[in-house]
Structure 1
Amino acid sequence: MDTQPLYDLAPVLQLMLLGIAVALGPLAWVWLRNKQAAPAQRLAALTVLTLFLTFDLVLFGAFTRLTDSGLGCPDWPGCYGNASPSGAHAEISQAQAQMPTGPVTHGKAWIEMVHRYLATGVGVLILTLAVATWMQRKRGVPVSPWWPALTLVWVCLQGAFGALTVTMKLFPAIVTLHLLGGMLGLALLCLQAVAYAQAQRGTGPQLLPGNQRAALLAAFGLLWLQIALGGWVSTNYAVLACSDFPACQGAWWPAMDFRQGFELWRELGKAGSGEHVTFAALTAIHYSHRLVAYVLFAALLALAWRLWRGPLHRQARWLAGLALWQFASGLSNVVLGWPLVAAVAHTAGAAGLVIVFTWAVCESRATPVRAGERVRRREVSA
């Protein structure tokens, strides 16, 4: 295990073929269901399906992390230089005999490799979207190739972070960035799906009062902060630092070390000085996430109430429902001791919020302010 190179590119071709095989099913499904449809409609269907599969990939990535399977294969992109754990049976058995609970076991190796197969399949779908969009653009179909191209760049960067996650031994900052990258991919694909839907309807974004649009964007920004904090909690295994609610360790302000807790560039479980991360630092990580969660929960409910009777009423219902989902799943993680189902459900809720917020932002724009109104606003402010 110790002599295994971190990078072994021998199985790259086999993994690429596996990724194509994984992608062929969704591609065939879209083609069969849309044989008579216009090219733009087929691209729209493929975008929505890729968005759905990327959502599933984010959840499976959370499952991989939460089952401690991130190092189930200690090299990248294969498993001990093989395209599947079957070819590495002897090496995995030897590692498992030395450490029966991991990090390398047969079960964890399969979880890790299935995650890589799914990620490669999604990458093939995104490459197909980018190439197909450019081809249709050259044929005069009014589709924008730039967002699919940007998404292709994103998936390449995400693959690089996936490799670093393994080779840097679950370095917390890298794993957190990998999680944020997954959420960004959902936003990019949702943006394209909304654009296709608007083109098919022949309508543009709905007008919102300027203050509602500003509140929407502010809440979206707060959501990204909370996802980053949630990733930091998960990658530092700080969920169980507070096992009671609403207090933490029986206090409203427990002993915390924010400096060490938010020292970003360090190894898992270690401070920058090389010492072990203290429990006070883990408490600071957990409690920061909880405090921002209170603010975000209130902001989501207030935003949903403001949007409820407007053109974004569907998104408002989703925001309210997902806010309650996140509260319930987050609370379950604390009081039930971080059960796997609740932890994955919490990630699902965060991914769902990213999609709904992107949907709402793309489906709206601020109401233009007339010149006379600008003058009156300046007079009032003066």
Structure 2
Amino acid sequence: MNECVLQQQNEAAALQQKPKEVIRRLVWKICIATLILMAIGSATRVMNAGLACPDWPLCYGELVPAKQMNFQVFLEWFHRLDAALIGFSAIALAGLSWWHRRSLPNWLPWASTFALFLIVFQGILGGLTVTQLLRFDIVTAHLGTALLFFITLLIVGTALAPYQATGTVGKLPWVGLTSAILVYLQSLLGALVGSRWALHQCFAGDQLCGVMYSHIIGLVPPTVAILALVFMAWRTPALNPALRRLANMAGGLLFLQLLLGVATYRLHLQVEPLTVSHQAVGATLLGTLVAFTVLALRDWFANREIKAYSV
């Protein structure tokens, strides 16, 4: 009799875990698609394809502009296609979260709804970038919102991921959070430099050099914060292996990002793949820091609960 009851309890727990697992997988797929979307958006900008489709949301009045299709039109059209697919996926994520809300954490439906709001707002900004002829503040907000959407998905996916807390993180969550915020702000500065073509204008006629130098000087705070994070992770002997790997990954991505930034600057943005890689690696670095911070906070809160129970 006890075995039957235990089996029923295990089956009920498995049924409750199934929606959570489905949503977690969906979130990670949308994360990857969003990272690709931002890379395509960067390629669209550096290839001067931002207005290759002169109308919105269609392209030359068609869903698929076969007659006008060239490389630039394809970039802009594919960028919109990927964004639309992510939008439909975000709707599915919100719907699943609310439908299975009784077997999910209370915060998850609200987080998925916020992600849906961000992608809708992102779509509006995408339309405005075309209708307002690539106005620099709208282009910058477009990338900033995309990064916020990416961060929201990463927080949800990492919070749902299996994780065994060790309770030895110390101040690492706050260093990780600081690093993530600084990298996000630096990404916005980079978006501003790109949307105003500040590097080109500074080299060509000494215009907007202040915007360009703000991005260069702005790399110092996040670099110091990430190096501190890596050093502190190395100095924490009982740190969870997942956190240690993420910290090492952040250090490696930082080094790669600095190399790409120097190469992009020295080559005056003449090698488009370098510019696209610079933004893609920056977004990956930001994602790595967000994942580290969420896991470290889970560890920190678990340690506080253990201490509360032991008192």
TM range (shorter): 0.7 to 0.9
Alpha-carbon RMSD across the aligned residues, in angstroms, is 2.5
> Does structure 2 conserve the Cα–Cα contact (< 8 Å) formed by 1:126 and 1:152?
yes
Deviation of the 1:204 alpha carbon: 5.9
TM-score norm. by structure 2 comes to 0.83
Counterpart in the other structure of 1:67: 47
Note the 1:49-128 alignment, pairs <5 A: 49-86=29-66, 89=67, 106-128=70-92
Partner of 1:296: 222
**TM-score, normalised with respect to structure 1:** 0.68
| 8 A Cα contact 2:178 2:225, kept in partner | no
State the alpha-carbon separation in 2 of the partners of residues 349 and 295 from structure 1: 18
SS at match of 1:364: helix
How do 1:201-350 residues align onto structure 2 when only pairs under 5 Å count? Answer: 201=163, 203=164, 208-210=169-171, 212-240=172-200, 279-308=205-234, 309=236, 310-311=239-240, 312-338=243-269, 339-350=271-282
Letter in 2 for 1:56: I
Per the TM alignment, residue 107 of structure 1 is displaced from its structure 2 partner at its CA by: 2.8
For residue 227 of structure 1, what is the amino acid of its counterpart?
S
Where does structure 2 lack aligned partners over 5 or more consecutive residues? 1-16
Alpha-carbon shift at residue 241 of structure 1 (Å): 5.3
Q: Deviations over 1:127-153 (max 9, x none)?
A: 111111111125x45562111111111
Structure 1: stretches of 5+ with no match in the other structure: 1-36, 93-104, 244-277, 371-382
Which letter maps to 1:50? Answer: I
Q: How many residues align?
A: 280
Matching of residue 165 in structure 1 with residue 91 in structure 2: no
Structure 1 runs of 4+ with >6 Å offset = none
- In the alignment, what sits opposite 2:13? none
Identity level (%): 28
Residue 279 of structure 1 deviates from its aligned partner by 3.9
Change (3 A) 1:173 1:207: farther
AA at the equivalent of 2:214: S
Q: Which residue of 2 aligns with 1:148?
A: 112
Identify which of structures 1 and 2 has the higher relative contact order when contacts are C-alpha pairs closer than 8 Å and 6+ apart.
Answer: 2
Letter in 2 for 1:54: T
SS across alignment from 1:60: helix
Shift of 1:62: 0.8
Change (3 A) 1:281 1:357: same
Report the 3-state secondary structure (helix = DSSP H, G, I; strand = E; otherwise coil) of the residue aligned with 1:69: coil
